[in-house]
Amino acid sequence: MTSPSPTTATPSAATTTTSSIVPSDADAIDLIFDLVREYSPSRHELPASRRLAERAAALGLHATVDDAGNFVASTHADPLRPSPDHRDIVLLGHIDTVPGEIPVRIDDGILHGRGSVDAKGPLATFVIAAARLRDRLPPGVRIVVIGAVEEETPTSRGARAVVDRYQPIACVIGEPSGTSGVTVGYKGRLVVRAEASRSLSHTAGPDRSAADRVLAWWSRVLSRVATLVTETPSPFRSLQHSVRTMHAADDGFTDRAELVAGFRLPPNVSPEQLKAVCLDEAGTEVSLTFVGAEVCFEADPKSSLVRALTGAIRESSPDTRPRILYKTGTSDMNVIGPAWRCPIAAFGPGDSSLDHTPQEHLVLDEYLLACRVLERAITRLAEESPASSAPAR
């Protein structure tokens, strides 16, 4: 298949339309190609958000970019405000990617490009499903689609900007699960930066170098954290750790060392527990800073949303058995889930093992199937959600 022709319209920050276009499969492929072509590493998402707002408006959605830089669209009313006449189903994806441009092309039905899997494929799925369902939703039900910024950083700024804006009856997080997978759990996280410094002295002297001090601290921490999870659990219920960077240098007067490490936390270990261990072992030789603290989150695997998604998977692909997944990474579910306390799950096309890799690519037939699955799931969920019920946290 050849690549779609580029669209030449000028991006705008806020657009809306009354178009009644129902997107075809060709429209869906053109949308994902255009979105992946807009390179949008974290903190540089605005052009992509504006471009997607323009494309969503052309498909009949009310679309804009909010103050955080998030793409936001809805099937009805102002997408930046709760609608007293509607109960919201929020589809929350992210528009940022990790750095590293990959030439965008379509070869033999496969889209290559940064973000095609993580997570512009799921986000484009959300837009297409919302546009197709705009005129078919029961009265009093609205779909809100969000492309959040900075999901790939510890800040999760985009998700935090919308936590207090909506009180949805259900939320789908846009992350690759494959068209047979529904993700209901993400591990917690803590990132720690350890630094040590000392006046430079001869290496034959008795004083430990700054690097020795940092490494000794890390060894003590690992001994302590090994006792926090004593059984042999599944990967989701294990405590994972890794050194991300290590650097040591001197300027002729001061010897300095820095180590950055990350923890992936299971349900029974909190960021505060890890902080306490790290600080206790640091003493006076090592100074610490912490970022990216997130508590592990598990959603109800038997919720109305999970039932709607798994049922839609079976209907769309009768030979496929739905899978309930628990991921060892984090996502915006860790931010949104505890705040909204509504049925929540992650769904989207793509092989998550390709996340952040130079080989990132998306099979377009899988993407089109995901659009159909989500349409069916939202239709079922909306029909089960009476409009007369008040939104609740």
- Say yes or no: 75 and 176 in one domain: yes
| The two three-digit tokens of residue 18, written as one number | 């009354």
Residue 15 has pLDDT above 80, yes or no: no
- Say yes or no: 236 and 253 in one domain: yes
- Say yes or no: 54 and 171 in one domain: yes
Which H or E run includes 192?
Answer: strand 188-199
Query: Does residue 22 fall inside a structural domain?
Result: yes
3-state secondary structure of 231: coil
Straight-line distance from the first to the last Cα atom of the chain, in angstroms, rounded to the nearest whole number: 46
What burial letters (b/e) apply to 292-312, b meaning 16+ CB within 10 Å? Answer: bbbbbbebeeebbbbbbbbbb
Query: Does residue 227 fall inside a structural domain?
Result: yes
Parallel, antiparallel, or unpaired for β 188-199 and 361-363? unpaired
For residues 316 and 183, give the distance between their C-alpha atoms in angstroms, rounded to a whole number.
18
Nearest in space to 213 (alpha carbons), one of 257, 183, 263:
257
Parallel, antiparallel, or unpaired for β 254-265 and 188-199? antiparallel
| Alpha helices (H) along 226-356 | 271-282, 304-316, 333-340
- pLDDT on residue 5: 36
Q: Which of 30, 45, 151, 351 is catalytic?
A: 151
Query: Does residue 237 fall inside a structural domain?
Result: yes
- Say yes or no: 252 and 217 in one domain: yes
Query: Does residue 74 fall inside a structural domain?
Result: yes
User: What pTM, to 2 d.p., does this model score?
Assistant: 0.90
- pLDDT on residue 230: 78
251 labelled catalytic: no
- Say yes or no: 117 and 210 in one domain: no
Cβ-proximal residues to 360 (8 Å cutoff; 6+ apart), any chain:
102, 112, 113, 114, 115, 116, 117, 118, 354
| Alpha helices (H) along the chain | 25-37, 46-58, 120-133, 157-162, 210-225, 271-282, 304-316, 333-340, 364-383
> DSSP class of residue 255?
E
Last residue in a domain, options 259, 294, 329? 294
The answer to whether 33 touches 104, Cβ cutoff 8 Å, is yes
- Say yes or no: 174 and 219 in one domain: no
Written as one string, the DSSP assignment of 142-191 is EEEEEEES-TTSTT-HHHHHHTTT---SEEEE----EEEEEEEEE-EEEE
Query: Does residue 379 fall inside a structural domain?
Result: yes
| The two three-digit tokens of residue 249, written as one number | 């240098």
- Say yes or no: 112 and 248 in one domain: no
Handedness of CA 362, 363, 364, 368 (dihedral sign): negative
The CATH number assigned to the domain holding 196 equals 3.30.70.360
For residues 15 and 25, give the distance between their C-alpha atoms in angstroms, rounded to a whole number.
23
Structure confidence by residue, pLDDT tens digits, 183-232: 999 999 999 999 999 987 655 555 789 999 999 999 999 999 999 987 77
- Say yes or no: 315 and 212 in one domain: no
- Say yes or no: 88 and 121 in one domain: yes
Across 276-285, average pLDDT: 95
Last residue in a domain, options 294, 327, 350? 294
Cα separations (Å) of 240 from 261, 266, 337? 11, 8, 22
The answer to whether 182 touches 370, Cβ cutoff 8 Å, is no
Last residue in a domain, options 294, 310, 336? 294
| The two three-digit tokens of residue 271, written as one number | 């960021």
Give me the number of domains the chain comprises: 2
Mean pLDDT estimate for the chain: 92
For residues 305 and 372, give the distance between their C-alpha atoms in angstroms, rounded to a whole number.
16
Residue 348 has pLDDT above 90, yes or no: yes
- pLDDT on residue 7: 33
The band of 2, judged by pLDDT with boundaries at 50, 70 and 90, is very low
| The two three-digit tokens of residue 229, written as one number | 């999870």
Residue 309 lies in domain = 14-186+297-383
Parallel, antiparallel, or unpaired for β 297-298 and 178-186? antiparallel
130: preceding bond cis by omega (within 30 degrees):
no
Structure confidence by residue, pLDDT tens digits, 104-142: 999 999 999 999 999 999 999 999 999 999 999 999 999
The answer to whether 296 touches 188, Cβ cutoff 8 Å, is yes
Structure confidence by residue, pLDDT tens digits, 40-83: 999 999 999 999 999 999 999 999 999 999 999 999 999 999 99
- pLDDT on residue 199: 87
Query: Does residue 388 fall inside a structural domain?
Result: no
Query: Does residue 325 fall inside a structural domain?
Result: yes
- Say yes or no: 137 and 275 in one domain: no
- pLDDT on residue 6: 34
The CATH number assigned to the domain holding 79 equals 3.40.630.10
- Say yes or no: 181 and 192 in one domain: no
Query: Does residue 390 fall inside a structural domain?
Result: no
Structure confidence by residue, pLDDT tens digits, 286-298: 999 999 999 999 9
366 labelled catalytic: no
- Say yes or no: 307 and 289 in one domain: no
> DSSP class of residue 89?
E
Q: Which of 96, 118, 281, 351 is catalytic?
A: 96
